[in-house]
């Protein structure tokens, strides 16, 4: 980089060059990704990447809009349940029976009070590692009653792993209460990850906010396709509820995934992890 900035204009030019340079870097990085594809996960039917659609918080709009869209395309999603409503029990049971994955998102969804104002008893500050593990264990009982499975994955409420200011992630790992822990962020490396080698206590995901377009959803999948890894989507409301992605954007994306099913394997999060572990890449 040229660092002879005598005035603001030169500084601006330098910054623009910096941005362009970074753009070149990522382009060459992406080019390198396809070359190193042999060391990546060998997905079924030579698919280039796995696409995992996860939905948090047991929202009605997921039952009303997301699951019917997935079912009509023959695709499976992963639903992390908390605050389950009694009236929805039959529909969650039906979703599980169709092959959708149900995961643990605690019973009461405790988050730090500064991030998510709530009754003080249900903020993460009021918990201890022992009490959050007890709650996760109890939510497993509900999940087993819904899907008949004795093991479940977990998604952290608000992406946080603290209970009463203490990180509970390693205690959760040691407890064997859950098969994996999905967080709320994704790096470029995650998109090209050899999934068999990923720490199951640190599963990435990318959240999508209100106003997200079909094209933006497709773009994330294309990045995983280039990286020969996986893309884990995190949705909340679909055509309703909070942080909603519109039904139209979601449906458009589902249709695109269906059309691209030879290259992209849409599966549940547990399904992707199980496959990767059972089919390690020759180069490890």
**By the criterion CB under 5 A, which residues form the site for Zn ion?**
56-57
Q: How far is the CA of 37 from the CAs of 26, 32, 42, 192, 284, in angstroms?
A: 17, 9, 9, 8, 12
Beta strands per DSSP E along the chain: 49-56, 78-81, 101-104, 154-155, 162-163, 166-167, 181-182, 206-207, 230-235, 264-267
Spatial separation of the C-alpha atoms in residues 186 and 232, rounded to whole Å: 8
Spatial separation of the C-alpha atoms in residues 267 and 195, rounded to whole Å: 13
CB of 85 to Zn ion, least distance (A): 15
Q: Which residue is nearest to Zn ion (CB)?
A: 56
Measured from the CB atom, the residue of 56 and 135 that comes closer to Zn ion is: 56
CB of 55 to Zn ion, least distance (A): 10
CB of 78 to Zn ion, least distance (A): 13
CB of 233 to Zn ion, least distance (A): 14
- Using DSSP's 3-state secondary structure scheme, residue 181 falls into strand
Measured from the CB atom, the residue of 30 and 118 that comes closer to Zn ion is: 118
Nearest-5° angle of CA 94, CA 139, CA 97?
15
Give start and end residues of each alpha helix (H) in 74-213: 89-97, 129-147, 169-175, 188-191
Determine the distance from the C-alpha atom of residue 185 to the mean position of all C-alpha atoms in its chain, rounded to a whole number.
Answer: 8
Measured from the CB atom, the residue of 183 and 227 that comes closer to Zn ion is: 183
Measured from the CB atom, the residue of 101 and 225 that comes closer to Zn ion is: 101
CB of 112 to Zn ion, least distance (A): 13
Measured from the CB atom, the residue of 227 and 237 that comes closer to Zn ion is: 237
């Amino acid at each position: 980089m040229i660092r002879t900035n005598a005035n603001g204009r030169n500084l601006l030019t330098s910054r623009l060059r910096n941005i362009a340079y970074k753009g070149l870097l990522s382009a060459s990085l992406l080019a390198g990704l396809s070359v190193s594809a042999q060391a990546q996960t060998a997905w079924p039917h030579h698919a280039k990447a796995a696409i995992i659609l996860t939905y948090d918080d047991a929202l009605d709009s997921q039952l009303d809009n997301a699951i019917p869209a997935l079912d009509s395309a023959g695709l499976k999603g992963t639903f992390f349940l908390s605050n389950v409503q009694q009236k929805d029990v039959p529909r969650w049971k039906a979703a599980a029976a169709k092959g959708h994955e149900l995961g643990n998102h605690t019973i009461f969804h405790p988050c730090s009070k500064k991030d998510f104002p709530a009754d003080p008893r249900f903020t993460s500050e009021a918990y201890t590692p022992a009490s959050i593990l007890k709650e996760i264990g109890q939510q497993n009982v509900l999940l087993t009653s819904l899907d008949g499975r004795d093991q479940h994955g977990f998604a952290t409420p608000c992406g946080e792993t603290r209970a009463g200011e203490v990180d509970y992630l390693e205690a959760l790992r040691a407890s064997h209460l859950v098969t994996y822990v999905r967080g709320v962020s994704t790096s470029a490396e995650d998109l090209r990850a050899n999934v068999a080698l990923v720490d199951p206590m640190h599963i990435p995901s990318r959240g999508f906010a209100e106003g997200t377009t079909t094209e933006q959803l497709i773009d994330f999948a294309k990045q995983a396709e280039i990286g020969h890894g996986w893309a884990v989507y995190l949705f909340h409301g679909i055509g309703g509820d909070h942080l909603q992605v519109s039904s139209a954007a979601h449906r458009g994306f589902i249709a695109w995934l269906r059309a691209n099913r030879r290259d992209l394997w849409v599966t549940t999060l547990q399904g992707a992890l199980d496959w990767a572990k059972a089919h390690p890449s020759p180069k490890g």
